[in-house]
């Protein structure tokens, strides 16, 4: 059985789905790995490194697709390459099934089996495959580092003979995986950190990292059974606006991480709130690609609103492609390992397995 991967569109995506480390693991399963030429050259990994481990390199993407039983990618294939998939082939990646619903429906009608890993259930057995957590962890870290580089003051408190420099105050909006990593990173760098989330269960996690949890008075826990945030009521939104507007007057840096799976990101930081922030403050919006948590966010632009910089990256992990690829490739391998029956040397689509059932696009 053969598993393949082709180069992503590097205008948008620098991560790869197979690394030399995971190639060795595919070998141990008895799977032949097919890759496109110069697959990870942009990450400093030469084709010869893959070839020395047994991978076959093809000059043309079509050859990889036609010679593979399963294709693993970071994101969905181009329309041209989707049309090259044939009956009983398998496509695995972050396919964004809500956004690409029509495309995926069309290829599943051709009996192509598609697995979209953002749909993984939140169960213990799926943790090693959890691409949202592995990638969000890095995103939370990088957002803090980047936002600090645009802030014009020192981050930690410094006491000198000439006087004291106050520590920067950071607000993290959304205390999921990315938010918690942002809190931990900002705290390690000496900032005073505040955080807010609609899920009351995150209060303990925020405080364990040294952050101060901002809670809307009388709020209920807005968390789904899967551990994600629910949409909030109008009453909650009004109370949240009041709390945030008062808090933002003293905040230097805001890291926005609040997302609702499959839906537009909620607007949490409005233009009115930004107006009360201090000149020189920074907002880094990790939700930019899904509409943004800030009303003024523009994808891949730095917006200056009366001295407040609002930053919105479409793919912040393109700035950490090697680390992100290493984690993502392991997530992908763990998923393939669960899907592949080594003894029978075949992919086993067992819909009684919750992981396979939940991720399969139907």
Residues 6+ apart with CB under 8 A from 40: 16, 19, 50, 325
Contact 5, 32 (CB under 8 A): no
Torsions phi, psi of 198, nearest 5?
A: -75, -15
Question: Of the listed 122, 215, 289, 353, which one is catalytic?
Answer: 122
Would you give the end-to-end CA distance of the chain in angstroms? 24
Please name the helix (run of DSSP H) or strand (run of DSSP E) that holds residue 333, with its range, or none.
helix 321-339
Residues composing the chain:
362
Contact 27, 335 (CB under 8 A): no
The question of whether 105 is a catalytic residue gets the answer no
Question: Of the listed 127, 166, 208, 314, which one is catalytic?
Answer: 127
The question of whether 122 is a catalytic residue gets the answer yes
Q: Which two tokens stand for residue 36?
A: 């496109």
For 6-23, letters b (16+ CB in 10 Å) and e give bbbeeeebbbbbbbbebb
The question of whether 130 is a catalytic residue gets the answer yes
Cα 130 to the center of its chain, rounded Å: 10
Question: Of the listed 128, 200, 228, 353, which one is catalytic?
Answer: 228
Question: Of the listed 128, 133, 219, 289, which one is catalytic?
Answer: 133
The question of whether 127 is a catalytic residue gets the answer yes
Question: Of the listed 5, 97, 116, 130, which one is catalytic?
Answer: 130
Q: Write the DSSP assignment of 87-115 as a string of letters.
A: TT-EEEEE--TTTTHHHHHHHHTTT-EEE
Report the distance separating Cα 73 and Cα 52, nearest Å: 22
- Give me the active site residues, please: 122, 127, 130, 133, 228
């Amino acid at each position: 059985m053969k598993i393949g991967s082709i180069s992503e569109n590097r205008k948008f995506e620098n991560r790869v789905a197979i690394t030399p480390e995971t190639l060795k693991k595919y070998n141990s399963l008895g799977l032949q790995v097919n890759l496109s030429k110069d697959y990870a050259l942009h990450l400093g990994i030469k084709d010869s490194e893959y070839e020395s481990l047994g991978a076959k390199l093809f000059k043309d993407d079509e050859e990889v697709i036609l010679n593979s039983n399963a294709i693993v990618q970071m994101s969905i294939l181009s329309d041209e390459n989707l049309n090259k998939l044939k009956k009983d082939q398998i496509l695995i990646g972050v396919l964004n099934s809500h956004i690409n619903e029509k495309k995926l429906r069309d290829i599943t009608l051709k009996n192509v089996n598609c697995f979209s890993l953002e749909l993984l259930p939140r169960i213990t057995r799926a943790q090693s495959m959890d691409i949202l957590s592995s990638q969000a962890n890095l995103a939370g870290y990088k957002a803090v580092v980047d936002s600090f580089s645009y802030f014009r003051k020192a981050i930690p408190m410094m006491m000198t003979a000439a006087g004291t420099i106050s520590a920067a105050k950071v607000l993290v909006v959304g205390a999921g995986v990315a938010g918690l990593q942002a809190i931990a990173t900002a705290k390690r760098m000496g900032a005073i950190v505040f955080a807010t989330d609609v899920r009351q269960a995150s209060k303990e996690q925020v405080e364990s990292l040294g952050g101060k949890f901002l809670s809307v008075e009388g709020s209920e826990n807005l968390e789904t059974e899967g551990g994600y945030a629910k949409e909030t009521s109008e009453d909650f939104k009004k109370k949240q606006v009041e709390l945030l507007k008062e808090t933002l007057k003293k905040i230097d840096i805001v890291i926005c991480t609040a997302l609702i799976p499959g839906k537009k990101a909620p607007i949490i930081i409005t233009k009115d709130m930004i107006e009360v922030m201090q000149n020189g403050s920074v907002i880094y919006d990790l939700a930019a690609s899904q509409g943004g948590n800030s009303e003024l966010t523009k994808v891949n632009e730095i917006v200056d609103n009366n001295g407040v910089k609002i930053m919105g990256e479409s793919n912040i992990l393109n700035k950490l492609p090697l680390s992100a690829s290493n984690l993502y490739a392991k997530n992908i391998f763990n998923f393939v390992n669960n899907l592949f029956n080594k003894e029978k040397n075949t992919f086993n689509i067992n819909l009684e397995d919750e992981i396979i059932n939940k991720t399969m696009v139907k």
